[in-house]
Chain A
Amino acid sequence: MSQHEVTLTLNGAPVTKPAEPRTHLADFLREDHLLTGTHLGCEQGVCGACTLYVDGRPVRSCITFAVACDGASVQTVEGFEDDPLMARLRAAFSRHHGLQCGYCTPGMLATGYDIVRRLPDADEARIRRELSGNICRCTGYAGIVAAIQDVLASDPPAARLMPLPRRQRAAVSAVATEAAAPSASVRATEVVVEIKDGISLSRSLVLEAPADQVWPVLRDIPTVVSCIPGASLDGPVENGRAQGVCTIAIGPMRATFRGTAQVTLDESTQQGRVVGSGRDGLSRSSLDGALDFALEALPDGRSRLDLTMLYTLKGPLAQFGRPALVAEIADRILADAAAALAARAVGAAPPAPAKPLDGLALLGTSLKAMLKRFLRLG
């Protein structure tokens, strides 16, 4: 992978070292410049431990790439040694027991410094609001808030570090080279977990085909799978047990769940149940779910499929998979699947090959196709 030379004014001194594009600023500082005062907590922009200054403004160094800072002035907690305002803050943190284990402290000091210089009239409520992006698991925040209040109330020295004028790019710094395709390393899981609680999602789909023609399609697992966008089977289905993969894309995210599902059918009532577990190896996320379905004939010759899902999503994907969002994605997949199932039932060719719903994935390459599909369905 290509390396880029990254030049910084780091705590006042010019430095240049190579960095891979994917190296975030915190790693670059800690591992290449041995400035370990910057701490990494969550590495996803939530905890605030890695907060430091780029061009005089506090930023999260874990979601700022080193290459994106080429030419910038960076100041870490080490660079504030002789700063009179930071000296006040350090003393106040110490006096008010504003730290215990110290892990969050570099980020707290960075944010505290910004509060004092930017919001001289901040009261306790405002300080707490401004500090809400920095998580401390020891102190209960009381000491930290008191320390910042103390500094604000005691005629603090002027901040030496102030925001610099915003930079614009000076020159093209590199030519893109061919990237290695991300290689999927997923492992199959045999476990089928019956989930007891989770998020539930109910939907009714009206299928443009009579129930007695839909049921034979529904009970044929390979056909059903072929109607689900992004889904495919690994091999033959035995005793209602199927192994396969399903790829789902949400914006720039893409997860390929590989797993096992157990299908049970009740022929007399035209109902069934699918219990499945899947895991996306690359994002270390897992999805467990149970789906109950019932097919009903409608008086107008069409049929209705009632679906009730119960699912749990665990791992990194879960924090982006908010329930309202999952419901929306599920609706889009179901709309596609319903059209394909109905087409199969009446013996027509499916309306479109079942492909992953890869909406905006990788720069929206297939957005147009997806939109067309939605518009036609709508």
Chain B
Amino acid sequence: MKPAAFDYLAGAALADAKSALAAGAKPMAGNQSLGPMLNLRLARPGRLVDIAMLPELRAVTETATGLRLGAAITHAEIEDGEVPDPTGGWLREAAAGIAYRAVRNRGTLGGSLAHADPAADWVIVMTGLEAMAIIDGPSGRREVAMADFITGPFATVLGDGDLLVAIEVPKPGVDARWGYWKFCRQIGEFAKASATVLVDPAKNVNRCVLGALGRQPLVLEESQAVIEGRLSPRDAVTQALPGRSPEALALHATALERALAQANGE
């Protein structure tokens, strides 16, 4: 199995990558999701620009409200605490559950989000944490809430010449609680169902998110009722996901129940 032939450019700086993108190249970071598709020739881009080592995408900056992680920070760097974790450990734990260590050593935060596999960990976790996508495009920089960034299966708001350069994770309040649970048939596989729960009294945030839906994560409208115990996770999931099979609903409901239990310290 060999990929179809493509041209390769390793940019030294963001400007190089941007001019390559403008000329129609596809960005490649850790290549851990794109790689299998290239090897199987399911994806056949003519030109790739390697963004894994761009200094701008490897930068980590603390902001007034959170932490800005460069898009090319690897899962393993987050797992190992090589970069700060503004959530006090939630990011590290999520990172440690992604695929396998050898994949985490190359796979990147931004690559995973831009790839937007509906079952990916960062896709739901960053939506659950209300992170922001920082996009550098032909008309300058813009910030997009993660819930709006992912628009469908493998689809994002990234347009021609756009590059996801960083992800800003807000720092939760002191009393904030969090739960993230995913169901995989086998360790490291794609999740069949996943859910996050964020309760942040200082910021008045009550947020339940369902993931691995085959499309973008779903922020439950009835999050607060679920968190306050007025609506059972099972009923909430059944309401929110009409038309799904009972088996699928059971998995998603269980994911939400377990994420909720984690957030409640149970």
Interface residues of A (CB under 8 A from B): 1-2, 4, 20-24, 27, 43-46, 48, 51, 54, 57-60, 62-65, 67-68, 70, 110-111, 114, 129-130, 132-134, 166-182, 250-255, 282-283, 285, 316-317, 320, 322-329, 332, 359-360, 362-365, 367-368, 370-371, 374
Q: Is B21 an interface residue (CB 8 A)?
A: yes
The 7 closest A-B pairs by CB, nearest first: A251-B154, A133-B100, A324-B214, A63-B35, A179-B46, A21-B8, A44-B36
CA distance A4 to B55 in the complex (A): 22
**Are B10 and A70 in contact, CB atoms less than 8 angstroms apart?**
yes
**With A48-B100, A253-B42 already in contact, 5 other A-B pairs whose C-beta atoms are closer than 8 Å:** A20-B5, A54-B106, A68-B52, A111-B101, A133-B102
Most buried by A among B46, B58, B212: B46
Stretch of B61-69, B87-95, B186-194, B256-264 with 4 or more beta carbons under 8 angstroms from chain A: B186-194
**Are A324 and B213 in contact, CB atoms less than 8 angstroms apart?**
yes
Q: Is B116 an interface residue (CB 8 A)?
A: yes
Across the interface, A45 reaches (CB within 8 A) one of B32, B42, B50, B55, namely B32
Minimum C-beta distance from B29 to chain A (A):
10
Q: Is B159 an interface residue (CB 8 A)?
A: yes
**Are B44 and A254 in contact, CB atoms less than 8 angstroms apart?**
yes
Chain A residues near B31 (CB-CB < 8 A): 63-65, 68
**Are B26 and A328 in contact, CB atoms less than 8 angstroms apart?**
no
Which residue of chain A lies nearest to B34 when distances are taken between CB atoms in the complex?
A252
Chain B residues near A374 (CB-CB < 8 A): 152
Interface bits B153-188 vs A (CB < 8 Å: 1, else 0):
111111110100000000000000000000000111
Interface positions of B from 1 to 48, Cβ below 8 Å from A: 1-13, 16, 20-21, 23-28, 31-32, 34-48
Across the interface, A172 reaches (CB within 8 A) one of B16, B158, B215, namely B16
CA distance A251 to B48 in the complex (A): 15
Q: Is B217 an interface residue (CB 8 A)?
A: no
CA distance A155 to B154 in the complex (A): 47
Chain A residues near B3 (CB-CB < 8 A): 22
Given A65-B31, A68-B31, A252-B26: A22 and B53 interface contact (C-beta under 8 Å): no
Chain B residues near A363 (CB-CB < 8 A): 21, 24-27, 45, 160
Across the interface, B102 reaches (CB within 8 A) one of A4, A59, A68, namely A59
Q: Is B103 an interface residue (CB 8 A)?
A: yes
* 25 A-B residue pairings within 8 Å (CB atoms): A21-B7, A44-B40, A51-B102, A60-B102, A63-B39, A63-B106, A64-B31, A64-B106, A65-B8, A65-B35, A68-B52, A132-B186, A167-B53, A169-B53, A174-B10, A176-B7, A176-B23, A180-B5, A182-B46, A282-B44, A326-B214, A332-B152, A359-B155, A362-B46, A368-B159
Chain A residues near B99 (CB-CB < 8 A): 133
Chain B residues near A43 (CB-CB < 8 A): 1, 39
**Are A169 and B10 in contact, CB atoms less than 8 angstroms apart?**
yes
Chain A residues near B20 (CB-CB < 8 A): 176
Interface residues of B (CB under 8 A from A): 1-13, 16, 20-21, 23-28, 31-32, 34-50, 52-55, 58, 76-77, 99-103, 105-106, 115-119, 151-160, 162, 186-188, 190, 212-215, 248
Chain A residues near B54 (CB-CB < 8 A): 168-169
Chain B residues near A130 (CB-CB < 8 A): 101
**Are A317 and B35 in contact, CB atoms less than 8 angstroms apart?**
no
Minimum C-beta distance from B37 to chain A (A):
6
**Are B118 and A365 in contact, CB atoms less than 8 angstroms apart?**
no
Minimum C-beta distance from A102 to chain B (A):
19
CA distance A4 to B118 in the complex (A): 35
Across the interface, A176 reaches (CB within 8 A) one of B12, B47, B188, namely B47
Given A133-B99, A251-B115, A324-B212: A2 and B7 interface contact (C-beta under 8 Å): yes
Across the interface, A60 reaches (CB within 8 A) one of B76, B103, B115, namely B103
Chain B residues near A252 (CB-CB < 8 A): 26, 34, 37, 42-43, 45, 115, 154
**Are B42 and A181 in contact, CB atoms less than 8 angstroms apart?**
no
Chain A residues near B215 (CB-CB < 8 A): 324, 328
**Are A325 and B118 in contact, CB atoms less than 8 angstroms apart?**
yes
**Are A59 and B106 in contact, CB atoms less than 8 angstroms apart?**
yes
Minimum C-beta distance from A304 to chain B (A):
15
CA distance A264 to B10 in the complex (A): 54
Chain B residues near A360 (CB-CB < 8 A): 116, 154-156, 158
Most buried by A among B8, B77, B103: B8
Given A58-B105, A363-B27: A328 and B44 interface contact (C-beta under 8 Å): no
Minimum C-beta distance from A137 to chain B (A):
15
CA distance A192 to B78 in the complex (A): 51
Minimum C-beta distance from A193 to chain B (A):
23
CA distance A59 to B16 in the complex (A): 27
CA distance A178 to B4 in the complex (A): 14
Which residue of chain B lies nearest to A359 when distances are taken between CB atoms in the complex?
B155
**Are B76 and A57 in contact, CB atoms less than 8 angstroms apart?**
yes
Chain A residues near B40 (CB-CB < 8 A): 44, 283, 316-317
Which residue of chain B lies nearest to A55 when distances are taken between CB atoms in the complex?
B105
Most buried by A among B24, B158, B214: B214
**Are A67 and B10 in contact, CB atoms less than 8 angstroms apart?**
yes
Chain A residues near B48 (CB-CB < 8 A): 21
**Are A172 and B154 in contact, CB atoms less than 8 angstroms apart?**
no
Chain B residues near A44 (CB-CB < 8 A): 1, 35-36, 39-40
Minimum C-beta distance from B101 to chain A (A):
6
Minimum C-beta distance from A151 to chain B (A):
17
Minimum C-beta distance from A339 to chain B (A):
17
**Are A59 and B154 in contact, CB atoms less than 8 angstroms apart?**
no
CA distance A44 to B36 in the complex (A): 4
